[in-house]
Chains A and B, each alone.
Chain A
Amino acid sequence: DTAVSQTPKYLVTQMGNDKSIKCEQNLGHDTMYWYKQDSKKFLKIMFSYNNKELIINETVPNRFSPKSPDKAHLNLHINSLELGDSAVYFCASSQQPAGTDTQYFGPGTRLTVL
């Protein structure tokens, strides 16, 4: 069974559309994250939730809104998609906040905005 899963794996959409990416972890972890990896492979954290509460919110446009309905899920909704949003988005989880514990990553969602 996949520990951290994301859907969809690929997402191709037009500029201006709204889309969501879903993430689920079956590890029983308390903390979940969203990262963005750009075309140069640079990986940057966007959000982190601990027990459904937002604990990290980096400088991300407010078009991006995370939602954590429960500890096992952290979804990412993106409004009014722009060309620059094209990237691979990774979800991750850890038992403790990142500083003290290993993070487990999902397979990624490759978003292409046309």
Chain B
Amino acid sequence: SQQGEEDPQALSIQEGENATMNCSYKTSINNLQWYRQNSGRGLVHLILIRSNEREKHSGRLRVTLDTSKKSSSLLITASRAADTASYFCATVLTGTASKLTFGTGTRLQVTL
């Protein structure tokens, strides 16, 4: 089974609203990363958060990590139509420095 499960599977919001996506994982991690994938394109790295960090920001993105609950969330504030994409969390398990294990993804649709 996948290491990362994302919730919701799909999210539809209006431009200007905030979007929150959640990722849960099963085993101890070294770090967790979020990626965006536009339709028909490759993945683009957004943020990396290490296991000893609780929150990171990058522009309109805010990522939190709760290792006790084995979960992370990605918040996109003041969303734009251009944010429409699939968002994936990916974990690096403790002791496996070379490998990213991706979650199932959340498909975000931002409408005007």
Contacts and interface: CB of A to CB of B under 8 A. Distances in A.
Query: Which bucket holds chain B's interface residue count?
Result: 20 to 34
A73 to B, nearest CB: 17
B73 interface: no
A85 B48 CA distance: 31
Interface residues of A, number: 25
Given A41-B86, A43-B88, A103 B41 contact: no
A45 B31 CA distance: 17
A66 interface: no
Contact of A99 (B30, B35, B42): B30
B98 A102 contact: no
B97 interface: yes
Given A104-B45, A105-B43, A99 B88 contact: no
Given A45-B99, A105-B42, 16 more contacts: A4-B42, A40-B104, A42-B2, A44-B102, A48-B98, A50-B98, A56-B98, A90-B42, A97-B98, A98-B97, A98-B98, A102-B33, A102-B48, A103-B43, A104-B45, A107-B41
15 contacts: A4-B42, A43-B102, A48-B98, A48-B99, A50-B98, A92-B43, A99-B92, A99-B96, A99-B98, A99-B99, A100-B31, A102-B45, A105-B43, A105-B44, A106-B42
